[in-house]
Structure 1
Amino acid sequence: MLTAGVDLAAESTGTALAVLDWSGAEVNAQVHLGTSDAEIAATAPKVATLGIDCAFGWPDDFVAFITRHARGDRVDSTVDAGMAWRRRLAYRATDRATRDITGRWPLSVATDRLGLTAMHCAVLLDAVSDALGAPVDRSGAGTAVEVYPSATLRGWQFDTRGYKNDADVRRTLVARLLERAPWLALDEETLALVVASDDAFDAVVAALAARAHALGLSHPVPHGYHEQARREGWIALPVGPLEDLAP
């Protein structure tokens, strides 16, 4: 089995790709920075699961609101007002489910800093669809699945404070990850890369989350939400410990 993880950025220069080979007793990792959409799309048919760290879509309520606003329709202040209404527009069903599981809100694709990256993701998903010969199921029912590396790490009981911005913190986190996953083989060059770059490190975690999803070890889409998840996307959060992924 091969799994891949993508830490997507607004541009390819900030995008990282990790491919993990689970066919032996050791899991070999190949990690690259500055990865193009074409390279990611070419990888998709070769792997069991491709985990992408980015929202696959926008909230249904947000899409409906901006469509009405573009038509010039007035906001119904008797219904559409207040923080509860704004939060409904800001967050997808999967964001609310993720908060229920983790206790934290993900960043909002509608109102936070994810918009440009999500636009990039829409283009990437088209390229992946072309490579696979079928549309991407944004609910995660196919090869591509939405993942959330920092929440994945917290679910595996790792302390993620400061790891995005501090190489020393990341070095400690990588060491603890390898203590619990001694089967994960990072050569000297790859180890240096994931310590130096949080993008490269998140791509590896995305590939691990993809492995969990491929094994059926992620929280499922709840009953009644599948159609919405196919539009908005659904974050695949692993169930159980990191150790369950061992080859």
Structure 2
Amino acid sequence: MPTRYVGLDLAAQDRRTGLAVLREQDPASGVLVLEEARTGVDDALIAQRVRGAGKVGVDVPVGWPCRFVELLAAQATGTLAPPGSTGDEWRRGLAMRETDRAVHARTGLTPLSVSTDRIAHPALRWAGIEARLREEGIDVARDGSGRICEVYPAAALRRWGLPHRGYKGTGGRAARRGLVEALGGRFPGLDWAGHDAACVEEDDVLDAVIAALMAREVARGRAVPPPDPLRETALVEGWIWLPA
């Protein structure tokens, strides 16, 4: 039976959400066929593709910082103890997850803060999708040990030694074309099946393909798991998987 790896570049709106499906018929051959690559993806289609996947790479924060969640609960009930300072260091501790700090330490890149940035909107959408999948009995453990793993395409590209900036938006079309070629070199068994044009046209589609490739790397044991001291935290906050 073939294995399918799904990549999801989740946006708050369906029209900006990218989806990619890679089919691996025989792991020994290294051949990957890009079966689907598109935008305009609703929650029902996402759930359907997750059900048929061996592993799913999700480009969105799947959890919030524990300290931030605790602050919200205490603030809502009027039990928040006054901090020694409300300066930059205190706020950074609320804005960044442990995995965000780990990604910065390994790559120099800083993921968007799910507490303080607009990335919270797609993260809220994912929280609803996660609940739906959990109700269906799908293992959506946020540390990546189940069906889902959180990924960060720009950081993956950097770890692979590929260009990771300048490929977004209408001005990034030439850069996306170069990235499609570079990914073909990095994954020589990748058959774009005619979907390379969509990846050049829309960065959301290209990010979804990168997310699917990372899902396969995680499944193959070629990605960095949460260290033992952070495993319990990763189950709550999530963990961004990077190429090993």
Residue in structure 2 matched with residue 10 of structure 1 by the alignment: 12
> Is 1:64 aligned to 2:70, yes or no?
yes
Contact 1:126–1:135, Cα closer than 8 Å, also in 2: no
Whole-angstrom distance in 2 between the partners of 1:182 and 1:65: 48
CA-atom RMSD in angstroms: 1.4
Give aligned pairs, total: 236
Q: TM-score, normalised by structure 2?
A: 0.92
1:149-168 map, 5 Å = 149-165=153-169, 166-168=172-174
Deviation at 1:186, TM superposition (A): 0.9
Q: Which residue of 2 aligns with 1:112?
A: 117
Which residue in 2 is equivalent to 1:182?
188
Say whether residues 1:143 and 2:126 are aligned partners: no
Q: How does 1:70-149 map to 2 (within 5 A)?
A: 70-73=76-79, 76-78=82-84, 80-131=85-136, 133-149=137-153
Q: 2:228 aligns with which of 223, 230, 243?
A: 223
- Is the 2:149–2:240 Cα contact (8 Å) retained in structure 1? yes
> 1:51-76, CA deviations, whole angstroms, 9 ceiling, x for partnerless residues?
11000010001111122222234552
Cross-structure match for 2:25: 23
Q: Structure 1: how far apart are the matches of 2:242 and 2:188?
A: 22
Is 2:138–2:147's contact at 8 Å kept on the other side of the alignment? Answer: no
Q: Which amino acid aligns with 1:160?
A: H
* 1:122-152 Cα deviation digits (max 9, x unpaired): 0111222234x14521111101111111110
Shift of 1:200: 0.3
Secondary structure of 2:6's match?
strand
Question: The residue matched to 1:225 in structure 2 has which SS?
Answer: helix
CA shift in 2, pair 1:62/1:193, >3 Å: same
Task: Please tell me whether the aligned partners of residues 37 and 127 of structure 1 are also in contact (alpha carbons under 8 angstroms).
Answer: no
Q: Are 1:50 and 2:52 matched, yes or no?
A: no
Please give the alpha-carbon distance, in whole angstroms, between the structure 2 residues aligned to 1:215 and 1:75. Answer: 45
- Please identify, of 68-77 and 173-182, the stretch whose mean Cα deviation from structure 2 is larger: 68-77
Question: Aligned partners of 1:93 and 1:161: how far apart in 2?
Answer: 24
Query: Quick one: distance in 1 between partners of 2:80 and 2:48?
Result: 46
* Deviation of the 1:187 alpha carbon: 2.5
Cα pair 2:139 2:148 within 8 Å, conserved: no
Corresponding residue for residue 219 of structure 2: 214
- Rounded Cα–Cα distance in structure 2 between residues aligned with 1:43 and 1:61: 33
Structure 2 unaligned blocks of 5 or more:
none
Deviations along 1:187-207, one digit per CA (max 9) or x if unpaired, are: 23x111000000000000000
Instruction: Look up the equivalent residue of 1:171 and give its one-letter code.
Output: R
Per-residue CA deviation, residues 71-90 of structure 1 (Å, 9 max, x unaligned), is 23455242x42211110000
**Letter aligned with residue 183 of structure 2:** L
Q: Is the 8 A contact 1:38 1:127 kept in 2?
A: no
8 Å Cα contact 1:40-1:128 kept in structure 2: no
Moved more, 171-180 or 6-15: 171-180
Runs of 4+ in 1 over 3 A off after TM superposition: none
Q: Which runs of 5+ in 1 are unaligned?
A: 240-247
Show the counterpart of 1:242.
Answer: none
Letter in 1 for 2:7: G
Deviation of 1:15 (Å)? 0.9
